[in-house]
């Protein structure tokens, strides 16, 4: 971007062009992206704050494990909201002066910290969603094999391990290691994300920095023609791109496959149990469960798969339209953090609990029906909605 913002008027075309998310004047290039940033960031913070408040009021040990997982998921997602608000605030600070301050911003500690917390939030959320899937899978598919179920102590250990692991993985690029070209892994763009979503964007920072170091501004027009081919070959990817590709594409792809497979197994195990117990009344519960599982898998698919596919295409040097990269970065990457409160809390609690309304006294229900012959299968069908 620096190169193209200072070229003389005689240069008709400049490649690489300014960042697809930013312009020479602004960190966020247009009002649509700007409004979307504020909206998504505020929704993430408010939604996950509400989840933590609601879950903290839950009583009883039956929900303690799910409560731990959901609260930690909300904490992780809230970090993404903090990152988005930071970017939105910095856009306001550098409005119409971004080019003059781009180097100051991208090399600042706040930019590196923003990239770190965004990466931590993304990977920790993925980790917790995998753990939640495994917990539900074991409890629903093997309801009577108690030794397979997670205890509260095990979940606490798994969560502590996850926070340590994800913090370590995302903090490594902050260390003075030559592989990451110290302090540059999280400063490839004004959004401070080390994602490989566009081939030109991936090489832009290294290319521009080398060009500006080698030539004075009066020599730019000649240097573009002489050095472009060699410099593009030398700086085809930013330092540490293999690490970024493995962490944000390979790991997330494996996680998505595990989650989708786990929920598919849950659905079929429940369906088989209902058919064995010959419970016609379980059909409605099965339909509701299928709809909820579909939404969980579908939202994960829509949020992760586009990023994964774009990462693999960039790995093979396929050029993608800049507009797609921009809107995926703004709308797709953080949207899971805004949707998770709906999927894992708001859709599972009655409205009177959500808003703290007075609880009505329970009235005696009708006599219970005789227990089916196959007790194990009946229990699986009866408890499926509470486990999800």
Q: 184: pLDDT confidence band, cut at 50, 70 and 90?
A: confident
Q: What's phi and psi for 256, nearest 5 deg?
A: -65, -40
What pLDDT is recorded for position 348? 67
Cis peptide before 16 (omega within 30 of 0): yes
pLDDT tens-digit map of 207-239? 444 444 554 444 544 444 444 444 444 434 567
Task: Select the highest-mean-pLDDT range: 108-117, 192-201, 288-297, 311-320.
Answer: 108-117
Query: Is the pLDDT confidence value at 324 over 80?
Result: no
Contact 88, 38 (CB under 8 A): yes
Rounded Cα gap, residues 338 and 77, in angstroms: 8
Euclidean distance between the first and the last CA atom of the chain, given in angstroms as a whole number = 48
φ/ψ bin of 317: left (φ > 0), alpha (ψ from -120 to 50), beta (otherwise): left
3-state class percentages of the chain: helix first, strand second, coil last, to nearest 5: 70, 0, 30
Rounded Cα gap, residues 185 and 177, in angstroms: 11
Mean predicted confidence (pLDDT) in 198-208? 49
Q: Tell me which DSSP letter residue 23 carries.
A: -
Rounded Cα gap, residues 356 and 347, in angstroms: 16
DSSP class per residue in 166-233: HHHHHHGGGS--GGGTTT-TT-SSTT-------HHHHHHHHHHHHHHHHS-GGGHHHHHHHHHHHHHH
Query: Is the pLDDT confidence value at 166 over 80?
Result: yes
Of 13-17, 148-152, 256-260, least confident by mean pLDDT is 13-17
Other C-beta atoms within 10 Å of 333: how many? 23
Q: Which residues contact 177 (CB under 8 A, 6 or more apart)?
A: none
Of 215-219, 348-352, 357-361, least confident by mean pLDDT is 357-361
Token pair for 339: 């949707």
Task: Pick the more confident residue, 150 or 212.
Answer: 150
What pLDDT is recorded for position 353? 47
Token pair for 74: 């909300």
Rounded Cα gap, residues 189 and 233, in angstroms: 20
What pLDDT is recorded for position 94? 92
Rounded Cα gap, residues 89 and 77, in angstroms: 19
- Give pTM, 2 decimals: 0.79
What pLDDT is recorded for position 352? 44
Task: Pick the more confident residue, 363 or 344.
Answer: 344
What pLDDT is recorded for position 378? 45
Query: Is the pLDDT confidence value at 334 over 80?
Result: yes
Of 210, 38, 66, 180, give the one whose Cα is nearest residue 119.
180
Count CA within 13 A, CB hemisphere, residue 160: 6
What pLDDT is recorded for position 93? 94
Q: 283: pLDDT confidence band, cut at 50, 70 and 90?
A: low
Rounded Cα gap, residues 252 and 122, in angstroms: 9
Q: 361: pLDDT confidence band, cut at 50, 70 and 90?
A: very low
Q: Exposed e or buried b for every residue in 173-195, given b needs 16+ CB within 10 A?
A: bbeeeeebeebbbbbbbbbbbbb
pLDDT tens-digit map of 52-91? 998 888 765 556 888 899 999 999 999 999 999 999 999 9
Chain-wide mean pLDDT for the chain?
A: 76
Query: Is the pLDDT confidence value at 192 over 60?
Result: yes
Residue positions counted in the chain: 388
DSSP class per residue in 30-84: SHHHHHHHHHHHHHHHHHHHHHHHHHHT--SSTTHHHHHHHHHHHHHHHHHHHHH
What pLDDT is recorded for position 326? 67
What pLDDT is recorded for position 45? 96
What pLDDT is recorded for position 80? 95
Domain 2-9+16-217+232-352+374-387 maps to which CATH number in 1.10.10.10, 1.20.810.10, 3.30.9.10, 1.20.1070.10? 1.20.1070.10
What are the residue boundaries of the structural domains of the chain, listed by start? 2-9+16-217+232-352+374-387
Q: 302: pLDDT confidence band, cut at 50, 70 and 90?
A: confident
Rounded Cα gap, residues 320 and 199, in angstroms: 7
Rounded Cα gap, residues 289 and 264, in angstroms: 11
What pLDDT is recorded for position 373? 42
pLDDT tens-digit map of 102-134? 889 988 999 999 999 999 999 999 999 999 999
What pLDDT is recorded for position 216? 46
Mean predicted confidence (pLDDT) in 333-341? 87
Classify burial at 257, counting beta carbons within 10 Å of its beta carbon; exposed 0-12, middle 13-18, buried 19 or more: exposed
Rounded Cα gap, residues 134 and 345, in angstroms: 18
Q: 370: pLDDT confidence band, cut at 50, 70 and 90?
A: very low
What pLDDT is recorded for position 269? 84
Rounded Cα gap, residues 134 and 50, in angstroms: 25
What pLDDT is recorded for position 110? 94
């Amino acid at each position: 971007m620096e190169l193209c913002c200072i070229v003389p008027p005689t240069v008709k075309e400049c490649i690489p062009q300014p960042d697809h998310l930013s312009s020479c004047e602004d960190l966020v290039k247009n009002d649509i992206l700007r409004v979307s940033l504020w909206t998504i960031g505020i929704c993430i913070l408010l939604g996950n704050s509400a989840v933590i408040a609601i879950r903290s009021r839950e009583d009883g040990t039956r929900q303690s494990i799910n409560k731990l997982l959901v609260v930690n998921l909300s904490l992780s997602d809230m970090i993404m909201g903090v990152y988005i608000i930071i970017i939105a605030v910095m856009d306001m600070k550098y409005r119409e002066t971004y080019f003059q301050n781009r180097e100051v911003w991208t090399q600042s500690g706040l930019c590196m910290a923003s990239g770190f917390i965004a990466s931590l939030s993304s990977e920790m959320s993925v980790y917790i969603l995998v753990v939640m899937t495994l917990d539900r899978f074991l409890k629903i598919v093997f309801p009577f094999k108690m030794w397979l179920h997670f205890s509260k102590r095990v979940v606490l250990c798994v969560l502590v391990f996850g926070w340590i692991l994800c913090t370590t993985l995302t903090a490594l690029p902050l260390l003075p290691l030559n592989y990451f070209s110290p302090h540059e892994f999280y400063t490839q763009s004004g959004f401070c994300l080390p994602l490989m979503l566009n081939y030109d964007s991936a090489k832009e920072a290294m290319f521009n920095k080398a060009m500006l170091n080698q030539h004075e501004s009066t020599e730019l027009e000649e240097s573009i023609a002489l050095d472009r081919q060699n410099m593009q070959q030398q700086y085809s990817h930013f330092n540490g791109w293999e690490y970024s590709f493995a962490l944000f594409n390979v790991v997330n792809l494996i996680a998505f496959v595990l989650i989708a497979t786990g929920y598919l197994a849950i659905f079929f195990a429940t369906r088989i149990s209902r058919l064995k117990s010959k419970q016609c009344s379980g059909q409605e519960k099965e339909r509701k469960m299928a709809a909820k599982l579909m939404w969980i898998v579908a939202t994960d698919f829509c949020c992760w798969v586009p990023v994964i596919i774009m990462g693999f295409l960039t790995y093979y040097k396929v050029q993608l339209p800049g507009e797609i990269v921009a809107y995926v970065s703004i709308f797709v990457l953080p949207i899971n953090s805004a949707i998770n409160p709906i999927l894992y809390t708001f859709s599972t609690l009655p409205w009177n609990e959500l808003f703290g309304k007075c609880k009505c006294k329970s009235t005696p229900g009708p006599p219970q029906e005789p227990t089916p012959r196959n007790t194990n299968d009946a229990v699986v069908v009866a408890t499926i909605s509470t486990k999800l």
